[in-house]
Amino acid sequence: MKKTPSRLSAVALCLMTSGAWAQSGTLSVELNKVEPGEPSGCQAYFLFRNDTGKSFEGFEMSLAIFDSNGVIDRLLSIDAAPLPVQRTTLKLFAIPEIACSDISEIVLHDMPVCKPQNEENTDCFAFLELGSKTDAALVK
């Protein structure tokens, strides 16, 4: 069956109103700086740049922290919400009981919550960009 422009428009309208939203920008997460924490551990400074066109009222990341031998040391859940639209936000998170110099890599292995304001939870992996300015890599 040949699809006419009016049918295609109707399908597009249904997709837009069903909670599926077209994502054109990115949400970047950068591990910008680490420094020793008090009394022990590591303080990690993350920058979140939200160029998605939407604010996020929920943004939780589950991270795997790898030690200097490449072995998983621990899992760490962080809540970075809220993330306003067209803003860069700085968040500080404690990584307990491991020296910053002993962290070789941080892997984003799950995002239990990625919720644009007034919308349903969505899959952020498609438009998420990760990077690091430290010796520890931040990867998906």
pTM of the model: 0.81
Chain centroid, CA 31 distance in Å: 11
Please tell me the predicted confidence (pLDDT) of residue 116.
Answer: 96
More confident residue, 76 or 5: 76
What are the pLDDT digits (tens) for 23-39? 579 999 999 999 999 88
What are the pLDDT digits (tens) for 87-121? 999 999 999 999 999 999 999 999 999 999 999 99
CA distance 37 to 50: 27
Please tell me the predicted confidence (pLDDT) of residue 18.
Answer: 37
Helix (H) or strand (E) holding 60: strand 56-67
Strand-strand pairing, 56-67 and 137-139: unpaired
CA distance 126 to 17: 20
Q: Kindly list the strands in the beta sheet with 103-116, ordered across the sheet, starting from the edge strand earlier in the chain.
A: 72-79, 56-67, 103-116, 137-139
Domain residues of the chain, as ranges?
23-139
Do 139 and 108 touch, CB atoms closer than 8 A? yes
Confidence of residue 40 (pLDDT cuts 50, 70, 90): confident
Please tell me the predicted confidence (pLDDT) of residue 23.
Answer: 56
Q: 3-class SS at 106? A: strand
Q: Does domain 23-139 have CATH number 2.40.160?
A: no
What are the pLDDT digits (tens) for 3-26? 444 443 443 333 343 344 455 799
Please tell me the predicted confidence (pLDDT) of residue 38.
Answer: 80
Strand-strand pairing, 27-36 and 42-50: antiparallel
